[in-house]
Amino acid sequence: MYKNTAQQALSPNGTQSQNMERMHLILIGLYSVILAGGIAGVIVMSRRLSQRNIQSVMTIIIINLMVVHSILLLSLPFRLAYYISYEWKFGWFTCKVFSGMIYAHMYITFIFYVVIIIIRLLRKEFQRCYTTTWIVAVWFVVIVIISPIFLSFYGTSTNYNYSECFQFHRDIQQQGMVIANYCLIGIMGTTISALSISQLTVIFQLAMKYWPGMNSHVEFRAQMKSFFFILVILVCFIPHHVFRIYYIQHPPQKDDNSLLLYNEIFLGFTALCCLDMLSFPLGLRLFTDGEGVSTQSRAFRTLSKEHLGTSTGSNFTEW
């Protein structure tokens, strides 16, 4: 139905219709990669965690990160079905839930990333009870407070077509939503800027201290792994928020579906962070010194302990 409507609205201009078809294919490919890679990453990390100590602070955060990713991955088949069939068949309430889920996933993941980076920057151990408390608080705020408010006001504007989904552009024009979006953009931009400067400063200091054998030092490797999370935020989250500024200032007009799909593509890129679990086994080789198989094996075992918290040492070196 959506496809027919779009084609009728754009019949004078076949190029625009082709562009929309192309963007749908991009979304299908993007979410397919995220779904396959995300499932593989969760399986790989679950198997590794099942063999390790799960009592450390960093491992608790990783487990919650896996839960967040898994919840989003459950919604992706519904998104794929919609982009393939051009029609939403799962109910309006379900549409609102799945639409809000990708935003919740992005910001919860961002919080966990920031905490991991800060723990490593401070280079201090945190008691497990404190970590459990703030994680429970995050889930409580999201599920009990934010979600009901979101579902009560999101998607309540008139003139929505219930056979279409993920097109709540009229709600974003409300003053409260505009203010909330600008606040979130400002918080994320300020936070990632401060963390990037701090992280690069620490990495530079450690590189100068341990040069040329810095990769052999656990402290340097831990900070490099923290920088990975900063890169994920910069690549996956920041482009969406930059585009969000334009999207707020130039809301889509009636029957202008191209801008809606551009927004969906940028939003889809935020879900690429689900592939972070794959970075654990794939990234281990970056820290081997190339002195032979035995040395690489020792490095692999050492990094496994650092990543998954099997050692009794400082938590900031894990994962």
3-state SS record for 263-277: HHHHHHHHHHHHHHH
Lowest mean pLDDT among 133-137, 202-206, 303-307: 303-307
Residue 165 banded pLDDT, cuts 50, 70, 90: confident
Give the count of alpha carbons within 13 A of 256, CB side only: 11
- With a pLDDT cut of 70, the percent of the chain lying above it is 74
258-282: pLDDT as tens digits: 788 888 999 999 999 999 888 765 5
Residue 178: CATH number of its domain: 1.20.1070.10
Q: How many domains does the chain have?
A: 1
Q: What is the pTM of this model?
A: 0.81
Domain span holding position 283: 2-317
278-310: pLDDT as tens digits: 876 555 444 443 333 333 334 434 444 444 443
- Taking each helix axis from N to C end, the angle separating 2-9 and 14-50, rounded to the nearest 10 degrees, works out to 150
Structure-token pair, residue 83: 């982009």
45-90: pLDDT as tens digits: 888 877 766 667 778 888 899 999 999 999 999 999 999 988 888 8
Q: Distance (Å, rounded) from C-alpha 90 to C-alpha 79?
A: 10
Q: Distance (Å, rounded) from C-alpha 199 to C-alpha 120?
A: 9
Angle at 185 between CA 199 and CA 235, to 5 degrees: 50
